Structures are given as C-alpha cells and as structure tokens.
Structure 1
Amino acid sequence: MRSLLILVAALLILAGTAAAFQNITANDSIYYKEVGGATCADHAIPGLKGQSLLAIVELSGHSEVTIDGKQVQADGSGTYQEHPVNYYVTTPGTHHIVISQPGYTYYIAYRSVCAGKVTYAYYDQEAHLFQGTTRSPVPTTVPVTATSTVTATPSGGSPEYGALKSALGTQSNPENLGSLAIATDPPGAVIYIDGIKQGITPATIPGIAPGSHTLLLRLDGYDDLSIPVVVSAGRTHTYSSALQKSSGAAAPAPVVPTTKRSGAPGAGIVAAACLIAAGVVLCRKSP
C-alpha cells in the first residue's frame, strides 16, 4: 500500500511539472520558445537518409552555428512545424551547440544525437537581441482584428508586449547608439566586441550601445590585443594600434658558415708533402 502511495505521488509530481512547462509564457522567460525539441526522432530527411542529424529550427531568424567548437554550414534544409530548419550531419553522441550573431547574445546548448536519427533544437533569435539594438528588418505579418487593440508597454509588461516584440523586434533610435572606427598595423585583424565577431580591420562598427565594452583584435602571427573601450551615443570613436608580433613566431633559419677552399697554386702539393713526410714533426706553412 505504501509503495502504491509513493507511485501515485510521483505521478502527480510529474504531471505538475509537465503542466508547468506547458504554461510557460513570455513573462516567465524570454527563451520559453526554445524549450523542448524531439531527441533521436526517426524522421527520413530527403537526401540525408540514414545520417545522424542535428536539426536547428529557426523560430525568428538565422545565425552562425558552431558545433563542438567548429563553425559549420548546413548539409540540408527544409521546414519543420512551419518553421525553417537546417540539418547538420554529425556523429552519434552529445554535442555542444553555440549559435551567435553580432548584436545578439549567445545560444548555448548540449544535445544528444543517435545513429541514423534526427535531434531537433529550437533557436529563437529574437529572444537573444541585445537591449538597445535593432534587429534587421524581415517581412512580418501582424494579425489585427477589428475588436482588439495592441498597445506596446515597457519590457516586462503585459503579454501583448511580448507578442508585439516577437513580431516586430525592439525599436531603437539610431541617435542613441554609437560607433567604433578601428584600424590596425598591419590590417586584416579580426574585430571582436564583447566576444562577438564584428568584422576585419580597417572597419567602422555601427549600432553599439553606449557604455563600456571590451574590444579584442586578433591576427595570426601577432599577440592578441584586448582593451576596454567606452562608446557614447551619437558619436564615432576612432581607435588605431600597431600589433606586436608574437614571441612564438618562427625565427629565421640560422646561417651556417662555410669554409672557402683555397685556390692558390701549389696548395695541394704542400699538403701531400706533409702527409708523405711521416718523419717530419712540423710542416712549415707556405707564405
């Protein structure tokens, strides 16, 4: 009887947990749309049958995908639950996924893939938008009925605000943002702002929120340069620097000295005479 009561209690707890996940709204977490995703589904993907696949379902936009530390390109694409989806061929096991885009926070997740199966991960780009920036415009249809009015309220307000933000994106006055004009000697360094790749020097990076940021410049053969920068609204700050060559760079090959053979007449005869005269202790050098 006691075991039966414990089993019933466990079932009630599981049912309550499932109901809690089903009732997650935008007020609970901005990433609520990324919850879930089928693991090891037996789906036949045209052109990729029999492959072990990781599928990224794009709920509101596309960003760069890195799997296990390597940036990858999609091996196939299609539609899943009325959303664009990209398929990546991988190996069975657990994989580390990072999705990034300038102006957006990182998406980080671990997903398990089974042999010959498909594992899905939902990515809601809109939920990762940096506060104070504006998303790239995309064609969007906002349903409006004659009996309802949608009023935008500050972040953290009513659920209607979350629906409007998801459809239209965060609006921001460009005059409230700043820019960085960056140059290096030599040019060609990769620019990172707050850990996100932004371009190659020389370049001007617009749309940066005012305040303190970390600028990182990276070029093969040179030491990384990381400095704090402060961006002001409506201004372009110029930064230029000479990069220092890395101490680990390969040194030039040493020059091996060579001995020049004398071409003076009679040098060979003198040497032969010294060898033949075994009884002679000292051979006098010819002038």
Structure 2
Amino acid sequence: MSLIFILSLLCLPALAATTETTATTAVPTTTAVPTTTATTAVPTTTAAPTTTATTPVPTTTVAPTTTATTAAPTTTAAPTTLATAVPTTTSQAVVTLPAEGSGKSWFDVYTNVDGVSIYFDGAYQGTTAQGVLTVEWATTGTPPRTVTGEKSGYSSASEPLPAVPPAGHHASVYLTLNPVTPSTGSIGFSSTPKGANIRINGAFYGTTPHQVNHLAPGTYQIAIDYPGYQTYTSTEEVVSGKITYVDAVLQAVEQYGTLSAKSSPQGAYIYIDGNYHGTTPQTIGGLVQGSHTVELTLPGYTEWSGTVRIYTGQVTYLNEPLDQIPQPASGALSIASTPATASVSVDGVSYGVTPQNNRLVVNDIAAGQHTVVISLAGYEDFSKTVSVTAGQTTTVDATLTSVGTGSATIESTPAGATIYLNNQNYGITPLTIPNLAYGDYTIRLTLDGYQDYTSTITVNQGATTPVSAQMVAVPPTTEAAAAPIIPCIALLCAGLGLVRLMRRE
C-alpha cells in the first residue's frame, strides 16, 4: 500500500503540468524467488561500495557480502518477505515540473461575429473563427491589460483582460461588435441611350452611366435628358449605406422637324424658345412639331424676334435682314464654361446658365468694363473683368476648379486588398480614388491571411495622396495540447500490477 501511495504522489504533479512538463517514470524490476535472496542494483551512477542487506530465511542460503553499484539504495527487511531495494536515484519515477510561474495558460476571446482581429494592448494575436480565438500566454510574461477586437464594417470593441490564469488553465473574455451605420448614400444612373444629362434637384451631375456618392439621406428630384428624347423625371429616396439605382429608358420624340435659319448680315445668334442654338446660317433639327419663338441678335443691330411653325419631317426656312443701329452703345458677351450648366451673372445680374456643348450669348451689354461671375456648386467661382466694345461681341471662356477635393492612389503588397476610407468600401488595390473632400481619412486595408493595415492619410485640395502598404501575414495560432493524463494512468496500472504480484508471493 505504501507503494501505491508513493505512485499517487508522483501522479499529482503530472496531472497539473502543461504540455511542456516532462514526466519520466521508471519502475524498478524486482525478481521474486522463494529460496533466493534478491538483490537489486541500478547501474546509472557510481556510488561508494555498500553492503547489501539480506533477510535470513530458514531455507535460504545467505548471500555473501557483495559490492553493489547503486545511487542511494534503500534496504527493506521483513522476516518472511524477500528483501527489496528501492533506489531513489534518477532511475525511479521522476516528474519534471516547471519552476513556479514558468508554465503556459490561455485566454479564450469570444466574439459575436467571425473574422474579428484580436489585439492585446495593441499587439495583434490572430483572428476569431467560429466565434473564438484562443491565445497562449506564458505565466511568467507581462500580464496583458486590454483586449481589442476590430472588423471591417463594425465598430471596434475593447474589454479589460482578467488576470493571467494559473499554468494549464483558461480564462474567458467576451467582445460584442456592432455594425457601423454609414452616414451617406448613393444614386447609380444609367439610361438608354447612354450619355444623357443627369440633374439632381436641378444641379448637373454628369452624364450616364454614372454614380453620384456622398448624398445625405433624403428625397431628391431626378431629371435625365437627351436631345431628341423626352426628359425622364422621378423622385428618389437616398438611404444611408445603400445605392439607389435609376435606369431611365428615354422615349424618342418622333414628331419633329427642322429649321433653316439665316440672317443678313450673317453671324447672328439664334435662340429658339430661349435656348441658344449657334449662329446664322444654321440648320437645326430635332424640333418638336408646333410653334416656336425664334430670336436673332447681333451686336450693333436691332434684335429680331418672331414665331415660326415646325412641321413633322419638313424644313422651315427663316431668312431675316437685321437693322443696323447707327451709333450702337452696347455690345454682347459670348460665354462658355467647363463644366457646363454654370450660372452666369454680369455686374450682379443673372443671365442664365452656360449650355452643354454651346455658348451663352448676353446681348445689350453697355460698352465699358464689366465683371462676369460664373458659379457652379462644388467649384470655385470664376470671376473676370472684361471690356465690352459697342457693336462687338466679347468672348469669355471659363474652366472651373473643384472646391476642396483631391485624390488618393492606394497600392498594397500583395495587391487585391479591400480599401476602406472612414469605414466605407472603395474597392481593391491598386486604385486611385478621385474627388475626395480635403481633410484627414482613416484608411484600412484587409486581405485574407494578412493582418489589417491601418493608417491616417491627409487629402489636400488639388493634390494626389500616395499610399503604399506592405501587408503582414497572420502568424499561425498555437493550440494547447492535452495534459499528460495517459502516462499517469499507465503508472498507476503498473503499480497495481506490482502489488498483486507481491501479494501472490
């Protein structure tokens, strides 16, 4: 029974040890012979010669004094029992235990969504799978204080970590990440035919196909127009974080005719229903059947205005002589802008907007100095002082400059990383993102098998900000191995077998 007790004591440290605990068990072999004195020697170390104790038995020949090589023999004598020497050297069962605090333990980090990047005090530890990440930690290491979880499209979450558990044990911590709600939405436009003009609440936003981003949530009035087609109109709702799609199938104006306009002298500006259509002589098609108001103007001449009727499939001819003003006191301005649809004012008086692929002509401008201002939402105002000569036309061409926008060129090694600016997905690397409002942005790149790349960039007006990211591969996660239970069971079974054998003898 004392042997079982000793074996039990040897098993207790082994059960508490981690995978790094080495348990070496050596069970001394005893040969039991009824009439012979058994002497056990373990030749692992050399010790000073000692005398082997023998047990006198009536029918046993006492063994002569023998020099045995033992590390530290222990002699057990009993009147009717064979002598058994139990060595206490390294040949007996040895459990190597780590020094106190030198083992390993684990933190189990649970998250409500998968794919969360876990950081301990800012140091990356891995990514959760099936809602958990197990992080191995040395008990002698510096205790971590805070765990943080991050995932694209979700707000980050942080919690204080519990104390480092004892060697071989686990501690749990739970993180809840909430989806990030975008603050703006988008409208994607397409049309048949392509190239139609897009207007949102009356403002020009380009031609189809096109997507307009960064729109505040709400209701917008949409108009899509194309020459020779009826204008498409609708009311659309913009929702944060979503794209509203508008696909306009424009209906051709089938009943139209043509106007051939001439004047004497030539070069008069032609206006049909208030819209500029170039200078005489000019043939203008795509006019809807019916009556139209036509104006012919030329600096130094009296303006002509009248009504003409357009017939389907026919050409209506107009040829008007203009009366010269003997001493003209006014001239004209011919104005164009890039982009078009910009508002035009002269000396603070509004004269309409610049047309697409054409010019805005402003007549009856008194001779002398005048200030022309051209403005368009999202662009800097264009202002210029021009001199108007009586009886002549002064030309003004304005190229508008975007207000407060720049761009960012983003690359990564390897390529194919998903780009997030302020948590909004912009595509994958490499990519140039134009028309960004100037200011600071939080950029995050994600790629399977790599740690997230995060940084802060500054977009400057009229400039391109370069970003080059070197992605770092995610280190493999080491899982804890099972404690050495099987060797302990084997040791106990061997001890029980030895006791049964001794009882038989």
Structure with higher Rg: it is 2
Q: TM-score if structure 1 supplies the norm length?
A: 0.33
More strand by share: 2
| Larger RCO, structures 1/2 (Cα 8 Å, 6+ apart) | 1
More helix by share: 1
Q: TM-score if structure 2 supplies the norm length?
A: 0.22
